[in-house]
């Protein structure tokens, strides 16, 4: 991916955890690859926790290097990468400080990208301050999640940002959309005659989408206790993955064609009646347990968490899409912290054959299954039945693998790297449009409201397990189970 697009990348929250772990490592990988970033491109870090450029670069040396790829760091590439970086010390609460930022970037070439790796409470003040010094022209702005606390607050942020930046200037980032297997899902569906005819209610029994984490809330207790898994993961990541899985073939891969089809899926989600939430939604909270031999504390004892907290750390949902392609097919969404493994995957269970002369095993739903692993070890695996060697017609499950790191010799591009390059080059397809975000919030809100009003606490589950038993029971009602339970 060669580019001549000159740019000035302004990173707000330049000393924050996201900048250290994801954004600067991604920019370094693009720089090291050669040809992905214009030689004239500059990175301007904005923070108040460093005194000057030298101190900031020392901070980058200490905190970014551990998060670059496992390959040994090429010191020449690292030195030339640091040469791209400038630093401006700013108090984001003081609009007058933005004059210093304007002076620092006004003579730098190319499109300006403003990446807001800050808390959402700072999004609107930063945008107003940028406009006050004329930096909202010839610019793109990247907004990290969470964008609001509910539909009303999300609309308030979008309204305020939209007064300063046009919609085509706003890049609402969801890093799961930048993952290689998600891109390959589009290629698999729309580039192969093999799958598209099967991608519908007549042939699909059910679909599971899981994002599971072994980690707890770490140092984010204050934030997480006011957010919860439904806001933190379902409203954005899981519903975005669902829309990619279920969307109709777009007219083309341009940004609005893809996002139009995703929006149609989100608008077709069957509204959840508050009276049915207990049947189709499970919320849980982890208690103490053991993960990989290590004892971990209960959520309620984590730093920054209220001892009597009713915040959910686990969500499982049964979702239906009311359209011709998917009517009657259950989509099961699941996410949680302190689960048994770190995994993100999409599981498409195809229907069993209608009649088999080969025995009962060929009639088992899920015998044909597509598993798209997003993390770790990104891959696509297709399961089918084959005859076991030997006497008799005994069937066994076998699988065909596409392991990207083995098949493609060139290194894979990390999600943030792909998305940052898309921002610099003005490609919007993998970013969330405002109407998508509104549709997602509108569908989620009845669940939020019901849980907030409920006197029932989240269902407990031991850390190191796969969540409350109620999540398995919900699938059992449809004669199916989560993938790891079958294995």
- Flag whether pLDDT at 405 surpasses 80: no
Q: Is 71 annotated as a binding residue?
A: no
Residue ranges covered by each domain of the chain: 7-144, 177-412+433-486
For residue 321, the 8-state DSSP code is B
363 annotated as ligand-binding:
no
251 is catalytic: no
- Give the separation between CA 103 and CA 106, rounded to whole angstroms: 6
Residue 48 annotated as part of some ligand binding site: yes
CATH number of 7-144: 3.40.50.720
pLDDT at 73: 76
Whether the full predicted model's pTM is greater than 0.85, yes or no, is yes
Q: Is 128 labeled as ligand-binding?
A: no
Is 279 annotated to bind a ligand? Reply is: no
* Separation between Cα atoms, residue 380 and residue 377, nearest integer Å: 10
What digits encode the pLDDT tens for the residues 243-300? 999 999 999 888 899 999 999 999 999 999 988 999 999 999 999 999 999 999 999 9
pLDDT tens-digit series, residues 96-125? 999 999 999 999 989 999 999 998 889 999
* Residue labelled with tokens 């084959």: 386
Average pLDDT, the chain: 91
Percent over 90 (pLDDT), the chain: 71
Sheet holding 85-89, edge to edge: 85-89, 42-47, 7-12, 111-116, 139-143, 170-172
For 191, other C-beta atoms within 10 Å of its C-beta total 11
- Give me the architecture of the 177-412+433-486 domain, per CATH: 2-Layer Sandwich (3.30)
Instruction: Please report the pLDDT score of residue 196 as a whole number.
Output: 87
Residue 97 annotated as binding?
A: no
Q: Is 91 known as a binding-site position?
A: yes
Instruction: Give the distance between the most distant pair of CA atoms in the chain.
Output: 82
Confidence of residue 186 (pLDDT cuts 50, 70, 90): confident
316: left (phi over 0), alpha (psi -120 to 50) or beta: beta
Q: Which helix (H) or strand (E) holds 332?
A: strand 331-336
92 is in an annotated binding site: yes
The single residue of 63, 237, 251, 399 carrying the catalytic annotation is 237
**Would you call 42 helix, strand, or coil by DSSP?**
strand
What was the pLDDT predicted at 377? 80
pLDDT at 1 over 60: no
Report pLDDT for 269: 98
Range in 167-181, 257-271, 322-336, 410-424 the model is least confident about:
410-424
The confidence score (pLDDT) of residue 249 equals: 93
**Structure confidence by residue, pLDDT tens digits, 307-349:** 999 999 999 999 999 999 999 999 999 999 999 999 999 999 9
- The annotation status of 49 as a binding-site residue, yes or no, is no
pLDDT in the model for residue 2: 47
């Amino acid at each position: 991916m060669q580019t001549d697009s000159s740019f000035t990348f302004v990173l707000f929250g330049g000393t924050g955890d996201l900048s250290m772990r994801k954004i600067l490592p991604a920019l370094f990988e693009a720089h090291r690859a050669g040809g992905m970033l214009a030689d004239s491109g500059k990175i301007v870090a904005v923070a108040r926790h460093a005194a000057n450029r030298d101190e900031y670069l020392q901070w980058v040396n200490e905190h970014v290097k551990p998060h670059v790829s496992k390959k040994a760091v090429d010191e020449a590439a690292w030195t030339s990468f640091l040469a791209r970086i400038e630093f401006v010390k700013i108090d984001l609460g003081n609009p007058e400080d933005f004059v210093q930022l304007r002076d620092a970037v006004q003579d730098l070439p190319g499109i300006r990208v403003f990446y807001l790796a800050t808390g959402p409470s700072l999004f609107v003040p930063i945008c107003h301050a940028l406009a006050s010094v004329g930096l909202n022209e010839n610019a793109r702005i990247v907004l990290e999640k969470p964008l609001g606390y509910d539909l009303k607050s999300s609309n308030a942020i979008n309204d305020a940002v939209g007064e300063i930046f046009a919609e085509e200037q706003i890049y609402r980032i969801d890093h799961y959309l930048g993952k290689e297997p998600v891109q390959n899902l589009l290629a698999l569906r729309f580039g192969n005659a093999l799958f598209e005819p099967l991608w519908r209610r007549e042939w699909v029994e059910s679909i599971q989408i899981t994002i599971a984490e072994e980690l707890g809330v770490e140092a984010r207790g204050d934030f997480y206790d006011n957010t919860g898994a439904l806001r933190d993961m379902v409203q954005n990541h899981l519903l975005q993955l669902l829309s990619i899985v279920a969307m109709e073939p777009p007219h083309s891969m341009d940004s609005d064609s893809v996002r139009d089809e995703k929006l149609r899926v989100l608008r077709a989600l069957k509204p959840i009646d508050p009276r049915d939430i207990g049947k189709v939604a499970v919320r849980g909270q982890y208690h103490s347990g053991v993960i990989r031999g290590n004892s971990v504390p209960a959520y309620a004892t984590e730093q920054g968490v209220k001892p009597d907290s009713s915040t959910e750390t686990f969500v499982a949902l049964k979702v239906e899409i009311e359209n011709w392609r998917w009517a009657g097919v259950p989509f099961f969404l699941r996410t949680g912290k302190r689960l048994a493994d770190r995994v993100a995957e999409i599981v498409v269970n195809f229907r069993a054959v209608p009649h088999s002369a080969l025995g009962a095993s060929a009639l088992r739903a899920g015998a044909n299954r597509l598993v798209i692993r997003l993390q770790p070890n990104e891959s696509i695996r297709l399961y089918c039945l084959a005859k076991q060697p030997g006497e008799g017609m005994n069937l066994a499950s076998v699988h065909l693998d596409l392991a990207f790191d083995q098949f493609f010799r060139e290194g894979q591009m990390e999600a943030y790297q792909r998305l940052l390059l898309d921002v610099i080059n003005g490609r919007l397809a993998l970013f969330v449009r405002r109407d998508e975000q509104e549709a997602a919030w509108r569908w989620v809100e009845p669940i939020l409201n019901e849980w907030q009003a409920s006197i029932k606490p989240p269902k407990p589950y031991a850390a190191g397990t796969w969540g409350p038993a109620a999540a398995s029971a919900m699938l059992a009602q449809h004669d199916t189970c989560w993938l790891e339970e079958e294995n």
